Structure 1
Amino acid sequence: MRQTPHAPVRAVIYLRISQDREMDGLAIDRQRADCERIAKDRGWEVLHEYVDQSKSATDKTKVRPAYDEMVRDYEAGSFDAIVCYDLDRLTRQPRQLEDWIDAAEDRGLKLITANGEADLNTDGGRLYARVKAAVARGEVERKSARQSAAHVQRASQGRPPKGVRPFGYAIDGSVVPAEAEVVAQLFKLFAVQDGPSLAALAAGLSGKEAKHIPKSLHHVQRFTRTLAEERNERRAVEGLEPRPVPEDGPWSSSTVLGILRNPRYAGWSVYTDRRDRTKNKRRSWYAQVMRDENGDRIKGQWEPIVEEATWLAVQERLDMPERVTNRAGSTSRKHLGSGLFLCGICGKPVKAHGARYRCAGHVMRVRSSVDDWVLRIVRARLARPDLKDALPSRDEPRLRAIQAQIAAHEGKIKRAQHDYDEEIIESYDLKRVRERENAKIVVLEAERTALTATTDLGGVLNAESPVAAFDDADLAIQRRVVDFFCTVELLPAPRGRRTFDPETVRVTPKGNDARASS
C-alpha cells in the first residue's frame, strides 16, 4: 500500500531469539531498544510488536506464533514496514525471504534491520539479503551435519545420547534405582498379552485405584516436574534464580508408551535421525537401534533395566493389529471371562454383553453367577497343599538350541557381508541373504521370548496365603491365574430354570492338574 507524502509509515517490530535459557527477556529488550531507535529516527509510527521468545527459525516445520500472526496482519493490510534487529531474526529460510522481497517489490513493503544493510527497497539491499540468507542456511546445514555425525559416533560407540535424560537413567547413563524399579514394573505388567492397558498403567502411576489398575503400581511424581526440580538444583549451584516448576499431575498414556518403546531399557544403543520426516507415528523401533557394519545391534555402555526377551514381548503386544485399529489403544479386558471363557457349542471365546457373557446364537449367561463359580473353583485349587507342583519350568535345552541356531544365521549374514566387501558377491545377493536369514531369526526370537517370559501370576503361587493374594490381585492377574489352571466352557442354561446350574459351566484342569486327574 503506497503512502501519501503526509501519511506516516505504519511500522511493526519483530523480535526473536532462538533459545532464551534464562527466559528473563533481556536479550529481547536489547533488540527492542535498537529497533525502536530506528523507527524513531525515520519518523515511523510503531503500531505493534511481535515477539517469538525461544523460537527457532532454522526448522521450517517449527511454529512461530508471532511470526505467523505478523504474516496474516500484513496480508490484511495492517502495516507498511517491518523493523527487526537482524535479517536472521526474521527468517533463516530463503523461501520465506523471497516472500518478503515480493511484498517489497509488489506492495512497497519496507523492511529495515538494525545494521541497515537489509533494505529490501534497493537492489543492493535485496542482493545482500539473498546472499546472507543463503550463507546462513548453508551454515545451519553444515552445523546440523556435524551434530548428526557426532551423535552417530556416540551411538556407534554405545555411549549414552546427550540431551534430556530418560526416566530411569541419569545423564551419564547410570541407573536411577527408584525410577528403574518403576520402568521394570511397567515392562513386566505389559509384557503379558492380556495385561493392563497403557491407560491403566498411566492411571496406576497417577495414584488412581480401580479393579483394572495394577495394584503393584504406586503414585510417582510426573517426570516433567522431576526434571524441572533437577534443573533448579543445578541453577542454585550456579547462583541463578529458580525457574517455575509445573504442578504434579496425572501421567499420560503417551508417556508410558514412550517408555515401553525405548530400546535403551534393553541395553541397546540408539540413534534417532531428527531430519527424518516420516509421517508414520508408529514407526518401528528397529529404526532407532544402532547397528554395526555387520548389522548386529550395538550394546550400550549402560546397565539394562529389562531383559531383551521382555522388551521384545512388549513390542509384540504394542504391534498387535487390534491395538492399531483400536482408538482407545486398550487390549485389556474389563471382566474376568471376556475373551477367556469359551463357548461350549462352537469353542470360540465369549464376549461381555451388558451383565452377561454372550456367544451369538449359542450362549447367553449371567456374568456374575459364572464368575462366582469359577472363582470358587480357583480358590479351592489355590488352597491345596500341592500348589507348588503347578509352577512352570523352562525348557533350557531348547533355549540353548535356539541361541545356537540364531548365532548360525547371524554367522551366514556376516559371511555374506564379508563376501560382498571382497567383491565376491553382488549387493542383491547380500540383500537376499540378509532378508532370508533375518526372517528365520525373527521366528526363533519369538520362540525364545515365549520360553523365557515366565508366566507372571503376580506372586500369587508363591504367597504365604495364595487365596488371599489372589483376592487382592488386580483383574489382569486373576485372569492369568484362571487361565493357568483351567479352561472354562459355558453351556446354554436349561430353559425355564432361574437358579444357577454348575453343570452348565465346564471347568477343565490344565497342565499338571490335567495329568493328575487323568
Structure 2
Amino acid sequence: MRKNTLARPAAPIRAVIYVRISQDRTGAHLGVDRQREDCEALAERNGWDVVEVYVDNDVSAYSGKPRPGYRRMLADLDQGKATAVIVWHTDRLHRSLVELEAYINLADARGVTTHTVQAGELDLATPSGRWMARMLGSAARYESEHKGERVARARQQKAKSGAWGGGIRPFGWGMPTGETRTKVDRKTGEETEVPVLDTTKLVPEEAAAIETGHDILLSGGSIRAWVKWLTDKGLTTTRGNPITTTEARDMLLRPRNAGIAVYRGEEIGRGAWEPIVDEAHHRAVVAILTNPARRTTPGTTPRWFGSGIYRCGIDGCTKTLKCTKAGGANRPSYRCPTQHGGGRRADKLDQYIEDLIIERLSQDDAHELLLPDPDDVDVAALQVESEQIRRRLTDLAAMFGARKIDMAQFTEGSDTARAQLDGITQQMTRAATKDPLVDLVGVPDVRAAWKTLVLDRRRAVLRALLDVTVRPARPGRMPDGGYFDYSTIDYDWKRGRG
C-alpha cells in the first residue's frame, strides 16, 4: 500500500548582493545605496534569501586595484555560502576580461547563477550565457578604455590651460573670483560654501616669496635660509601649516613657476597662467637642487657668519673654524677642531670682517668687483633648443611604445638627447646664476642693505670676496686699549683690489 507523504517546500535560494561605484566624490555612498535597494527588490520578488551584501565604494573595476569586497565574495562563494549573485549590472561586477574568466570558472564549479537588475539572468553554465557575459564584459572594457582616453585628453588640456586639477591650491596662485561653490565633507556630509579660486592668477605675496627663494638659491644661499625667511614673514603652506625644507624644495622645483605645463610628470609646453620666474632662472634652480654633488644633509645650520669659512693659521693648519662655547667660555668663540691655539671671540671677529666687506662695497669702484655677465649665452635660443630636445624624448618614447624602434635604439637616442639637455641646462644655469654681490653694489646705504640679507646670503658674499685666516693672538692689552688682537686676522681679497 502506497504511503501518502506531503511534499516538503523547496528551500529558498541563498543569494549575495555585490554593489560597486568607481568614484564617490562626496563620500555619501548614494550610488551604492541605490544599487543595493534595486538588488534587494529583485531578491524579494524572487523569494530569495540575501545572506550577505558586499560593497566596494569608490573603487574601479577597470584600474586593476584590489577590490576587498569582491575578493571576500569570491572566497565565500568558493566555500558554498550562496548559489546566486545579484548585481545591478554586469559592469558593476567586471570590467576586466581576466577577472570575468576567473569568475566564470568559479560559478561553473560551484553552481552559482548570476542575476542582474538591468540585464536579467546570466546562465554561466551554458555556452550562450558565457558568450553573453563575455560580450557584456568586452563592451564594458571598451567603455572604460574610451572614457579613459577622453578623461586623459581632458586632463591634458586642463593642465595646459592652467586650470587646477583639484586638491591643494598651488602656493603662488589662486586669487578669489568672487564666486562660491558648495563643498561636501566626505565624512560628515556637511555642506559649506567656499570661494572659487582662479589658479591662473598670482597671489602677490606668495609669488614674491617664490621669487625670493630663487634669488637666495641663485646667489649661493640654501633652502634652509629660504625656509627661515618664509617663517620670519609668517608665510605658511596653502593649508596653513609651517613650510618645511622638503616642501620648500618641491615648491622651487615646480615647472609651473616658469609657466611650463606638466602632465603625468612630463612637460607638455607652455601653460596659460602667469609665470612667477622666467625659464632660465627656473632651470638654473632645478640644476642646483638636483646636482648630485649638492649636500642634502648638511647637519646643523650655521648660526655664525664665519663658521666653516674662516681658516686656522696656526702652524700651517688650514682647517675651518667652528663657533662653540667650549672650555667654559661665556661667549661663543671660533676654534680649530684640532683644539690648538685657543679661541677668538665670535662677535668681535665677525663684526671686523663684516665691516671690511661693507667698507669695500661702499667705495666708488665697487662695481669692478662684480662678475661679468655671460653675454655669450643666448638664453632664448637655448630655451627653444631645450623644448625641441624634450619633444624628441617624447617622440622616442612614443616610437618605442609603438614598437617602431627597439630598446637599444630607444636607449641610445634617449641618452644622446639627455646629454644635450644637460649641457643646455648648464649654460642656462650659468646665465641665470646671480652674483651674491649684486644686491649690495651701487645701493645708497650698503650697511642698511647688508642688514636686510639673511645669514646665508651674507655668508655667500663672504665666500665670494674674502679668504680669512686666523693666527694665534698675542696676550695682554692691545694698543687700542682692548684685548682683541686684530693684527693676527689675515685676509685676502678674491676679487679686484682691497
Q: What is the TM-score when the length of structure 1 is the normalising length?
A: 0.63
* Mapping 1:344-423, distance limit 5 Å: 369=344, 371-381=346-356, 384=359, 386-387=361-362, 390=366, 393=370, 395-396=372-373, 398-399=374-375, 401-403=376-378, 410=385
Deviation at 1:448, TM superposition (A): 4.4
Of the three residues 271, 274, 283, the one matched with 1:303 is: 274
Name 1:272's counterpart in structure 2. Answer: 263
Does 1:454 pair with 2:439? no
Name 1:177's counterpart in structure 2. Answer: 204
Paired amino acid for 1:102:
N
Structure 1 range deviating more: 333-342 or 73-82: 73-82
Of the three residues 95, 113, 116, the one matched with 1:113 is: 116
Does 1:289 pair with 2:267? yes
Does 1:260 pair with 2:252? yes
Do the aligned residues in 2 keep the contact of 1:58 with 1:93 (CA within 8 Å)? yes
Of the three residues 87, 90, 96, the one matched with 1:87 is: 90
Does 1:45 pair with 2:50? yes
* Mapping 1:53-68, distance limit 5 Å: 54-60=58-64, 62=65, 64=67, 66-67=69-70
Deviation at 1:308, TM superposition (A): 2.0
Paired amino acid for 2:353:
V
Closer, same or farther: CA 24–468 of 1 in aligned 2, 3 Å: same
CA displacement 1:182-203 (0-9 Å, x = unmatched): 3323333344554124xx76xx
Name 2:105's counterpart in structure 1. Answer: 102
* Mapping 1:81-230, distance limit 5 Å: 82-115=85-118, 116-118=120-122, 120=124, 122-149=126-153, 159-160=161-162, 163-164=165-166, 166-169=170-173, 173-197=200-224, 204=227, 214=230, 217-220=233-236, 222-223=237-238, 225=239
Instruction: Please give the secondary structure, in 1, of the residue aligned with 2:202.
Output: coil
Do the aligned residues in 1 keep the contact of 2:161 with 2:271 (CA within 8 Å)? yes
Question: Aligned residues, how many?
Answer: 428
Percent of aligned pairs with the same residue? 29
**More strand, by proportion:** 2
Paired amino acid for 2:213:
L
Do the aligned residues in 2 keep the contact of 1:267 with 1:302 (CA within 8 Å)? yes
Distance in 2 (CA, whole Å) between partners of 1:50 and 1:266 is 45
Q: Structure 1 stretches of 5 or more lacking a match?
A: 205-211, 226-247, 274-286, 291-297, 418-426
Q: Structure 2 stretches of 5 or more lacking a match?
A: 1-8, 175-197, 327-332, 393-404, 475-482
Instruction: Please give the secondary structure, in 1, of the residue aligned with 2:267.
Output: coil
Do the aligned residues in 2 keep the contact of 1:34 with 1:85 (CA within 8 Å)? yes
Closer, same or farther: CA 440–84 of 1 in aligned 2, 3 Å: closer
Distance in 1 (CA, whole Å) between partners of 2:429 and 2:82 is 65
Instruction: Please give the secondary structure, in 1, of the residue aligned with 2:492.
Output: strand
Distance in 2 (CA, whole Å) between partners of 1:154 and 1:477 is 39
Distance in 2 (CA, whole Å) between partners of 1:404 and 1:478 is 28
Distance in 2 (CA, whole Å) between partners of 1:47 and 1:16 is 14
Instruction: Please give the secondary structure, in 2, of the residue aligned with 1:304.
Output: coil
Name 1:243's counterpart in structure 2. Answer: none
Instruction: Please give the secondary structure, in 1, of the residue aligned with 2:142.
Output: helix
Distance in 1 (CA, whole Å) between partners of 2:112 and 2:308 is 67
Do the aligned residues in 2 keep the contact of 1:55 with 1:64 (CA within 8 Å)? yes
Do the aligned residues in 2 keep the contact of 1:342 with 1:490 (CA within 8 Å)? yes
Do the aligned residues in 1 keep the contact of 2:172 with 2:203 (CA within 8 Å)? yes
Paired amino acid for 1:387:
S
Paired amino acid for 1:218:
G
Deviation at 1:314, TM superposition (A): 1.7
Deviation at 1:454, TM superposition (A): 1.8
Larger Rg: 2
Name 1:238's counterpart in structure 2. Answer: none
Distance in 2 (CA, whole Å) between partners of 1:67 and 1:509 is 74
Do the aligned residues in 1 keep the contact of 2:472 with 2:488 (CA within 8 Å)? yes
Does 1:317 pair with 2:288? yes
Instruction: Please give the secondary structure, in 2, of the residue aligned with 1:313.
Output: helix
Of the three residues 9, 28, 33, the one matched with 1:29 is: 33
Instruction: Please give the secondary structure, in 1, of the residue aligned with 2:377.
Output: helix
Closer, same or farther: CA 510–250 of 1 in aligned 2, 3 Å: same
CA displacement 1:248-277 (0-9 Å, x = unmatched): 444465544443232232133x3424xxxx
Q: What is the TM-score when the length of structure 2 is the normalising length?
A: 0.66
Deviation at 1:311, TM superposition (A): 0.8
Deviation at 1:124, TM superposition (A): 3.6
Do the aligned residues in 2 keep the contact of 1:309 with 1:453 (CA within 8 Å)? no
Instruction: Please give the secondary structure, in 1, of the residue aligned with 2:34.
Output: helix
Do the aligned residues in 2 keep the contact of 1:118 with 1:125 (CA within 8 Å)? yes
CA displacement 1:271-316 (0-9 Å, x = unmatched): 424xxxxxxxxxxxxx6223xxxxxxx4444432112232112211
* Mapping 1:446-485, distance limit 5 Å: 446-456=426-436, 474-485=454-465
Do the aligned residues in 1 keep the contact of 2:464 with 2:494 (CA within 8 Å)? yes
Do the aligned residues in 1 keep the contact of 2:55 with 2:69 (CA within 8 Å)? yes
Instruction: Please give the secondary structure, in 1, of the residue aligned with 2:51.
Output: strand
Do the aligned residues in 1 keep the contact of 2:12 with 2:47 (CA within 8 Å)? no
